[in-house]
Every structure is written in structure tokens, then in C-alpha cells.
């Protein structure tokens, strides 16, 4: 299985850090070296009045700053119960919980300076260029309109201060609920997407879901319409692009923003158009309709961004690899139904678009018999692993093996290896113990393990089941194939290729297994996830220029690895800190 290859990956340590509890959880259908192993579950010390874990962010090293002690730790957000807070009771304001995998049953409460109408849950979040966590929008629980209206709140987690900071709020006409924060190569954040400003009031002429704002540093730009234009002439074609729910958004290597779902037919690219009113000036973020995906709607599925290298098919020998960009759409449900459940329309399929651009179509992926996705899944999380495989965790599946088919939890993760053959292969992993449904989160830790947490199951009001406050930790198969490699030295930071200077950088690797040198170098963006959507998640493979042995026997073998820098900010989208 190619997912066992040796990998060196940015933001990841290569030997398991201390403090892994001895409690083994989950199934043991096959050996951990083939199917991984679960630790836990661990029930956090969150009060039962706090309904469930719904959001999570893995705090990265801060760019150009000394260590803060928060690197690799996790901030959870728990949705309070009751969700309506018409009396503005501070006991029901959002609280975040700081968590360390080395002490997995304890989470420290960290208050947020939110006003009563600016609750964090059902907001969106992204990492700023310097590594701070931005939180945008959420829920206004003081409204009489069912307590489910968008919030204008904007907050920033400052690791250096160990605290949340309130920022200037969003435009009053564009509160965000289920928004999407697309991080741009410039370092700005395009804030888009919105399920609804309310369920009851009629939509204004231009609703929040048809608009966007751009956050640059600490400054919010004006509210702008998502104007649809012709992709050839840049002329308006009427109406605005709607971005519903947690819209799947990616900045592709061309610099355009690409909206890939969750609906089949509402996909858009951004482009720069001449300003017809002011000659010589240009308008950014005009929206060009793009082609529908080849399959179906993929509600509550996942959209995953890959940047790898490939020798073009049919090329003569000696042709150097070129950058290949792929976006995968994984699982989901092809028909809308209530949030806390699933139907027979759950999908056990995957499709892709290669080098996305206007006019490029989607392709169905057909893995070989015996290596196909086994479970249709809604509300699953897909986590990019540092070796380039995809781990699909949790979710709800339609179980036809029962006397009366029904919606059931999907306990067994599945791992997709896109490098194993032309259509890749799926492998079933060992099962976890707790159900992970609507609102569950899963994400990659800096040491290469995966956390699965939270998730809403049907409960009586005012109560919480263990799943909603628990975490499980999954060690993928690559952690059971001998001693892990370790980075022995590295530069403090890495610039882009377009920044000038040398085109490559080097670092040292200490091999865990004699003769097993690095086969891939990758960057994996820190996770920021809710509702199965990991905002701005991407995998960036770096091109290896040379590998040389710098030590003498006996093991461990030391290697000097020289790799090409990321081409530009459109490729890596984040600053690389090796601290």
C-alpha cells in the first residue's frame, strides 16, 4: 500500500510526543500498521449545560515570533444550551476551550469578549498570515426570529496574549451565519457565504448570501455584491452569485477564488474585469458561472484541495514534473433532508477537477473493484494526512443491511490513497467507539495523529451525550511502521520562489529506519474546522531537487534534503515557519 511511504511534512513532528494515554479504544479488525489505532474516547470536563463541541482550530507556530507554548494545542468551541438567549444571560455566552492532546480529558475555559448578540457558534474561522485565529460572524441569539440570525461579530485569538480580542464588526447589512472565510494570497480574507439572515423576514433586494466583504489586517472593506459576469466579455449577466451554507471555497493556483459546492449547479470562479464606469480601472471579485460537478449535489460532504507534481501523461523520457492541481469532492448526500439524520441518498463516491479553470470539467473517479468507498456518508470529516492520503472520519450512513434500512453512524474511517493507481484506492480502517454525526469535527495534530470530536445526536433538551463532549485520537498506519523520521535541522522560515534569492532550501532528516530515506516532502495547512468543513485546508507537495547521505554507519542515517521553494502565495497560501 503506497500510503506507507516515508514522508517529511511541514508543521509535523516525526516521533510521537510524550503523554499518549495507554487507553486503547475502537476496533481492532486488523493490525495498526495497516488499519491504524484509536486511543480514547476521552470525555472532556465541559459542563453538561454546554451542548456540544462544534468547532476546532489547531494553533500553529506564529510567524516571526518566539514560541508561546500554544503551538499544536487546540481551541474547541462548544455550542451552549439553550441556544436562545433572549434575556442575554452571560451564563449562556460562548466559551472556548483550550485543549492539549497530552492531557486529553482536560480543557481550560477561555472566555470570549463577545456581546450578547455576537455568539461564535455557527460562525466561520481562518488563520491570519501570522498564525492568529480569526473568527467571523456566528449567531445572534437575542433575536425574536427563532434565535438563528447572522452575527456581525469579528474576533481574533492572540496566542501571544493568550486571549481573544474583539475587532471591528461586519457591515450591518451583511451579518454572517454559516459564512466562509477564504484566505487570499495577499493575506486578506474574503468573507462570503451565508445560509440566511433569518428564516422569517423576506430577503432584501441583495441578501447577505449575495455579498462579500474583505478583511485586510484589522480593516474590513465595504459590503460588495457578488455580481455575475460573462467569462469572456466580463459583461454583467444579471443577478448575483449566491453562496449558501458553508460554501466550499478554494483559492486556486491562478489566483482565482473557486466555489466548488455544496450544490451541484452553483459553482463560480472570480475574475478581474474592466470597470465600465471608470475607464482604466478594474473590478475584482466578479463571479463567473462554472460547470456543474459530474455527479450530484453533495450536501454535507467535503471538498479537498491538492497541489502535487506530475509528469504529463505521454511525455517523452526525461520530462520534468509540472505542478498539478486537483480538487476532490468526497461523499455527502444528493438530496436535502433534516440536519440530524441522513437518507438513502448518501453518497459513497469521489470525483475531481484537475487544474481547475473556467471551462474545465469534473471527472468521476472509479477505483478498482475491492478498493472502492464502502460507506455513503453525510456529516463526515475528510482530513488530509501528510503522506497525501485522505482519511474520511465519522458521519452518518444509510444502512441497507438492517431488516428496515435506516440512518446509522459510520464508525469505520476509510482512507483514500490518490497515488495508488490512476483512480486511487480506498482502505477501511479500524472503527472508533463514539458516534460522530452532525457538527462533529476531525483534524490533524502537529504530530501526525488525527482527532475526532463532538457531534450531535438526538437528545432531550438540556442534556448532552458523551459523544458531544468527547475526543478520540487516531494514529494512522504510518505511525506503526518503525521509528519515525525526524527533522534534525531546518531554516527558521521559507520564502516563496517569486520572492527572489535561492530557488531551493535544505534541511536535515534523521531516518527512523536504515536506508529508508524521504520519498515526499509536503506542507499541510493547520486545521480550522466545523460542520465537516475545514476552511482553507490544502496539501502542498514540494519538489525534491536532491537527497544526499551526510552520516556514516551505524544508523540512524542522516540525510540532507534540498527542495524547491513553493512557487508563490497562490500555491502555499501560508507562511512556512519551522519553529
Which three-class secondary structure string do you get for 145-191? CCCCEEECCEEEEECCCCEEEECCCCCCCCCECCCEEEECCCCCEEE
Cα first-last separation, the chain: 32
CATH number of the domain that 318 lies in? 2.130.10.80
Q: Which residues of the chain have pLDDT under 50?
A: 1-23, 197-202, 459-462, 577-579
Residue 208: phi and psi, rounded to 5, are -55, -35
Supply 359's cell numbers.
Answer: 471551462
Whether residue 231 contacts residue 292, with contact meaning beta carbons closer than 8 Å, is answered with no
What string of DSSP letters covers 190-213? EEE--S-S-SSSPPPSS-GGGEEE
Q: What is the pLDDT of residue 101?
A: 93
* Domain count across the chain: 1
Note whether 330 and 382 are within 8 A (CB): yes
Query: Among 98, 131, 139, which Cα is nearest to 115's?
Result: 139
Rounded CA-CA distance 434/472 in Å is 8
**pLDDT value, residue 475:** 97
DSSP notation for 77-122: EEEESSS--TT--GGGS-EEEEE-TTSTT-EEEEE----TT-B-TT
Phi then psi for residue 266, to 5 deg, are -115, 70
357-414 residue pLDDT tens: 988 999 999 999 999 999 999 999 999 999 999 999 999 999 999 999 999 999 999 9
Contact 17, 431 (CB under 8 A): no
Q: What pLDDT is stored for residue 575 in this prediction?
A: 56
| Residue 271 CB neighbour total at 10 angstroms | 19
Q: Whole-prediction pTM value?
A: 0.92
pLDDT for position 518: 84
- Measured over all CA atoms, what is the biggest interatomic distance in the chain, rounded to whole angstroms? 74
Element (H, E) at 466: helix 466-469
Q: How far apart are CA 320 and CA 572, in angstroms?
A: 21
**Alpha-carbon gap, residue 414 to 279, rounded angstroms:** 54
How far, CA to CA in Å, does 487 sit from each of 297, 365, 484, 518?
Answer: 42, 35, 10, 11
| Res 485: pLDDT | 82
Question: What pLDDT does 136 receive?
Answer: 92
CA angle 497, 525, 5 (to 5 degrees): 90
Give the separation between CA 99 and CA 73, rounded to whole angstroms. 6
The total number of residues written for the chain in this structure:
579
| Coil, helix or strand at residue 487 | strand
Angstrom distance (rounded) from CA 382 to CA 414: 9
Residue-number span of the structural domain to which 99 is assigned: 2-577
Q: Which of 85, 166, 178 is nearest to 138 (CA)?
A: 178
Q: Give me 23's grid cell.
A: 487507553
What pLDDT was estimated at residue 238? Answer: 84
C-alpha cell at 163: 486571549
What are the φ/ψ torsions at residue 308 (nearest 5 degrees)? -125, -170
Q: What pLDDT is attached to residue 579?
A: 40
Neighbours of 434 (CB within 10 A): 26
Amino acid at each position: 500500500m503506497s500510503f506507507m511511504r516515508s514522508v517529511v511534512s511541514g508543521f509535523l513532528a516525526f516521533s510521537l510526543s510524550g503523554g499518549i494515554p495507554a487507553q486503547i479504544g475502537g476496533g481492532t479488525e486488523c493490525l495498526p500498521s495497516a488499519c491504524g489505532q484509536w486511543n480514547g474516547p476521552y470525555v472532556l470536563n465541559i459542563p453538561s449545560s454546554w451542548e456540544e463541541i462544534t468547532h476546532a482550530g489547531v494553533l500553529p507556530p506564529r510567524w516571526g515570533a518566539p514560541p508561546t507554548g500554544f503551538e499544536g494545542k487546540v481551541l474547541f468551541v462548544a455550542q451552549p444550551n439553550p441556544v436562545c438567549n433572549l434575556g442575554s444571560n452571560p451564563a449562556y455566552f460562548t466559551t472556548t476551550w483550550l485543549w492539549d492532546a497530552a492531557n486529553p480529558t482536560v480543557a481550560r475555559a477561555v472566555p470570549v469578549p463577545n456581546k450578547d448578540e455576537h455568539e461564535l457558534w455557527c460562525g466561520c474561522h481562518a488563520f491570519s498570515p501570522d498564525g492568529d485565529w480569526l473568527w467571523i460572524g456566528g449567531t445572534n441569539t437575542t433575536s425574536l426570529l427563532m434565535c438563528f440570525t447572522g452575527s456581525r461579530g469579528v474576533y481574533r485569538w492572540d496566542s501571544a496574549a493568550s486571549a481573544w480580542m474583539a475587532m471591528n464588526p461586519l457591515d450591518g447589512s451583511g451579518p454572517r451565519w454559516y459564512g466562509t472565510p477564504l484566505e487570499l494570497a495577499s493575506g486578506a480574507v474574503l468573507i462570503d457565504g451565508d445560509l440566511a439572515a433569518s428564516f422569517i423576514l423576506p430577503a432584501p433586494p441583495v441578501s447577505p448570501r449575495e455579498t462579500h466583504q474583505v478583511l485586510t489586517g484589522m480593516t474590513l472593506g465595504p459590503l460588495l455584491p457578488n455580481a455575475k459576469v460573462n467569462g469572456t466579455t466580463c459583461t454583467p449577466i444579471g443577478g448575483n452569485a449566491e453562496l449558501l451554507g458553508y460554501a466550499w471555497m478554494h483559492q486556486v493556483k491562478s489566483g482565482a477564488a473557486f466555489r466548488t459546492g455544496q450544490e451541484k449547479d452553483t459553482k463560480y470562479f472570480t475574475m478581474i474585469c474592466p470597470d465600465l464606469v471608470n475607464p482604466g480601472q478594474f473590478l475584482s471579485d466578479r463571479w463567473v458561472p462554472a460547470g456543474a460537478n459530474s455527479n450530484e449535489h453533495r450536501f454535507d460532504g467535503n471538498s479537498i484541495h491538492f497541489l502535487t507534481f506530475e509528469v504529463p501523461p505521454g511525455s517523452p523520457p526525461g520530462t520534468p514534473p509540472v505542478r498539478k492541481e486537483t480538487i476532490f469532492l468526497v461523499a455527502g448526500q444528493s438530496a436535502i433532508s433534516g440536519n440530524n439524520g441522513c437518507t438513502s441518498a448518501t453518497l459513497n463516491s469521489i470525483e475531481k477537477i484537475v487544474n481547475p479553470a473556467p471551462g474545465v470539467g469534473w471527472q468521476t473517479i472509479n477505483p478498482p473493484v475491492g478498493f472502492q468507498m464502502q460507506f455513503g456518508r453525510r456529516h463526515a470529516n475528510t482530513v488530509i494526512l501528510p503522506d497525501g492520503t485522505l482519511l474520511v472520519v465519522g458521519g452518518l450512513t444509510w444502512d441497507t443491511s438492517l431488516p428496515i434500512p435506516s440512518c446509522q453512524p459510520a464508525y469505520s474511517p476509510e482512507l483514500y490513497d490518490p497515488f495508488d493507481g490512476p483512480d486511487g484506492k480506498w482502505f477501511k480502517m479500524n472503527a472508533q467507539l463514539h458516534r460522530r454525526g452532525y457538527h462533529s469535527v476531525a483534524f490533524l495534530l502537529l504530530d501526525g495523529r488525527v482527532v475526532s470530536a463532538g457531534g450531535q445526536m438526538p437528545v432531550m433538551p438540556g442534556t448532552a451525550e458523551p459523544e458531544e463532549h468527547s475526543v478520540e485520537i487516531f494514529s494512522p498506519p504510518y505511525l506503526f511502521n518503525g521509528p519515525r523520521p525526524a527533522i534534525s535541522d531546518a531554516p527558521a522560515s521559507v520564502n516563496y520562489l517569486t520572492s527572489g534569492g535561492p530557488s531551493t532550501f535544505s534541511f536535515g532528516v534523521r531516518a527512523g529506519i536504515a536506508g529508508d530515506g524521504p520519498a515526499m516532502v509536503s506542507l499541510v495547512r493547520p486545521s480550522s474546522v466545523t460542520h465537516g468543513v475545514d476552511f482553507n485546508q490544502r496539501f502542498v507537495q514540494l519538489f525534491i531537487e536532491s537527497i544526499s547521505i551526510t552520516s556514516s554507519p551505524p544508523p540512524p542515517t542522516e540525510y540532507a534534503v534540498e527542495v524547491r521553494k513553493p512557487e508563490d502565495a497562490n500555491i502555499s497560501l501560508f507562511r512556512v515557519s519551522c519553529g
